[in-house]
Amino acid sequence: MNRLAQEKKVCALIPARLNSVRFPGKALKQIDGIPMVVRVLAAARNSGVFDAVYAATDSPEIAAVCQTYGFEAVFTSHSHQNPTSRIQEAVTILEDSKSASSRKFDFYAMIGGDEPLLTPEILQNFMEQALTVITSKENVQRPFLINAMADIPNDAETADPSNIKVVCRPDGTGLYISRAPIPFRKGTLDEPSRKFVSIGLYTRESLDFFCQSRPGILEQIEGVDLLRFLEYGKTILFLPICGYTLSVDTPADLETVQAILHRRTSTL
């Protein structure tokens, strides 16, 4: 990590709501006796790259569980339809608080509360890459935000609409994001599809822009909030992560994650 990046303060925010549409209560589902959202909070804290780590939630129950494990929570509105607007509200609350002078950050990392396979090493590697990029470029060349991506290892994950796929230029600049299997496999080039991974590096400007702009047509069709930035011509840089992860969107995903974590533990 370059010297300028090391001097920047970064706050990690983990959005978590109790009433998930596809899998209610998933944030508090136990994985080897530890609630899923707590696993993500612990990975963020143990990565050593964040100056502060918070859950962003509208649930007193989630907040209480986080506090039991030694993590702080920021209460946000019940009205949010996506994690980006929830994070923006949490940032506003933090910066407007009485102790705002001690809570000023240069960047904000959004980490999905449903990504329990994320490890401190994955987060550390991504953040070192992202901070180096965003602090080394001039303003006109700087990406508006940076997000993680990963190769999709099998056809089942490619076909699953819960796995959001991304296509990029060779330098990682995002071209499109979809729940559909993209790019379509008409040719024979043996290139893996790539999926969105819920680790993003934002500025206050990028978060405010999201909440001050209207949802675009593609965002509404796909149900993918990150498309708002692309529809308005903002640059998203996608960086590959150094390990495997899977977002938990269904009870079947939870079983898969539990099996993977059991295998990881048994090989230590």
Per residue in 64-121, pLDDT (tens digit) is: 999 999 999 999 999 999 999 999 999 999 988 755 445 589 999 999 999 999 999 9
pLDDT at 137 over 90: no
pLDDT on residue 39: 97
- Confidence band for 266, pLDDT divided at 50, 70 and 90: low
pLDDT on residue 126: 97
pLDDT on residue 14: 98
pLDDT on residue 99: 55
pLDDT at 59 over 70: yes
Mean pLDDT estimate for the chain = 91
Query: For residue 247, what are its two tokens?
Result: 């977002």
Query: For residue 11, what are its two tokens?
Result: 């706050």
Tell me the pLDDT tens digit for each residue of 160-209: 998 999 999 999 999 999 999 999 888 766 788 999 999 999 999 999 99
Q: What is the CATH number of the domain that holds 99?
A: 3.90.550.10
pLDDT at 133 over 60: yes
Nearest CA to 106 out of 77, 75, 142, 81 is that of: 142
Give the residue-averaged pLDDT of 28-51: 96
Q: Give me the domain span that covers residue 209.
A: 3-266
Name the β-bridge partners of 146: 201, 237
pLDDT on residue 22: 77
For tokens 């047509």, what's the residue? 217
Task: Count the neighbouring beta carbons within 10 Å of the beta carbon of residue 194.
Answer: 21
Nearest CA to 84 out of 159, 1, 177, 158 is that of: 177
pLDDT on residue 89: 96
DSSP classification of residue 249: -
Name the β-bridge partners of 150: 195
pLDDT on residue 23: 85
- Torsion angle in degrees (nearest 10) through CA of 239, 241, 242, 246: -160
Nearest CA to 84 out of 184, 215, 195, 191 is that of: 215
Greater pLDDT, 212 or 6: 212
Phi, psi of 221 (to 5 degrees): -70, -50
Query: In the chain, how many domains are there?
Result: 1
